Amino acid sequence: MQLQEPDDVLPKDLVVLIEEEEGRQSRLEFAATLAALWQAHLIATFVVARLDLNRHAGFAVGSGLAHMLQNYWSQVACAKAETKEIFDTLLSGRGLVGEWRISENESPEELMLHARHASLAIVGPPSRGDRAMTTLGLSESVIVGSGRPTILLPTNWPAERIARRIVIGWNGGREATRAIADAMPFLMSAEAVHLVVVPEAKAQGLYGAEPGADMAHHLVRHGVAVDLNQYNGTDAGSVLLDRCRSSDADMLVIGAVGRSRIGEFIFGGATRTILGNADLPVLLSR
């Protein structure tokens, strides 16, 4: 697949955030594949797992505490070294320019800055009930609120599967508009793009009998091979995920609708549904 677009459209730098968890190699390989296609600067930020999120740490006392701390730091050092070796191998093997960072004891706001100072951030899948809480899990909503597009990547997603078929969730809103603009490097190179008008009365009222037609024309003018889909229903998140499955999509593009509070971000219903159930990369913008 060739992502050859005007130079001013392509991202210049990518940041991938990783921890010592399953899927770190595939996430690095996915990021390196994108960086190679775009000739972008690749930043890898290793996020040290917080000890206070270890469910067993609070039970250590006496000599057990010292043993637990020694084991913890040994695991961190080993994970750092292994991950950096993977990263360095990817850089040299693909002729990339990159940067290695360590994030340790950073607040969610400080962690967000790694995303804010890059064109695109790549993180793991969102936290769910069956996934242990991690530093990135606590911070993913802050990263999404960084003002930069963020890709939430499923564990072990194939590195070579880079957005050939894309579904866009469109409701005429500001967030969705921003997401389309941020996803343009992917959209302009995709084989098929499905612009899906989600079932909201607001979109119908504001944009007439054919909501999405004007955005489809906009995409066509950029050379995007777009297919406009309008659906009936009340559950926008489920409609979008169903369309992704039926089209064997490689990426879903949505605006992250929600509201901020002090130290957290509360997602709206459709966004929550997608983050809780998506099994493909999701590009989010807000």
CB proximity list for 85: less than 8 A, separation 6 or greater: none
Q: How many CA atoms lie within 13 A of 194 on its CB side?
A: 24
The pLDDT, as a whole number, for residue 136 is 59
Could you give the C-alpha distances from 118 to 31, 112, 121, 148, 150, in angstroms and in order?
Answer: 13, 11, 7, 8, 10
CB proximity list for 71: less than 8 A, separation 6 or greater: none
The pLDDT, as a whole number, for residue 38 is 95
Mean pLDDT of the chain: 82
More confident residue, 61 or 44: 44
* Region class of 229: left (phi > 0), else alpha (psi between -120 and 50), else beta: beta
Cα separation, 84 vs 87, whole angstroms: 5
Cα separation, 175 vs 163, whole angstroms: 20
Cα separation, 266 vs 34, whole angstroms: 30
Model confidence over 14-23: pLDDT tens digits? Answer: 999 998 777 8
CB proximity list for 19: less than 8 A, separation 6 or greater: 46, 47, 48, 49, 79, 124, 134, 135, 136
Residue 59 has pLDDT above 80, yes or no: no
Q: Rounded mean pLDDT of 146-163? A: 92
The pLDDT, as a whole number, for residue 261 is 46
Model confidence over 221-269: pLDDT tens digits? Answer: 999 999 999 887 778 888 999 999 999 999 999 987 754 543 444 445 6
Which range among 83-87, 230-234, 268-272 shows the weakest confidence by mean pLDDT? 268-272
Determine the Cα angle at 16 with ends 191 and 7, to 5°. 50
Which range among 47-56, 104-113, 138-147, 258-267 shows the weakest confidence by mean pLDDT? 258-267
Cα separation, 263 vs 108, whole angstroms: 8
Q: Which helix (H) or strand (E) holds 285?
A: strand 282-285
Residue 118 has pLDDT above 90, yes or no: yes
Q: How many CA atoms lie within 13 A of 54 on its CB side?
A: 17
- State the DSSP string of 55-113: TTGGG--THHHHHHHHHHHHHHHHHHHHHHHHHHHHHHHHT--EEEEEE-S--HHHHHH
Which value, in Å, is the radius of gyration of the alpha carbons in the chain? Answer: 20
Q: Which helix (H) or strand (E) holds 255?
A: strand 251-255
The pLDDT, as a whole number, for residue 258 is 57
Residue 160 has pLDDT above 90, yes or no: yes
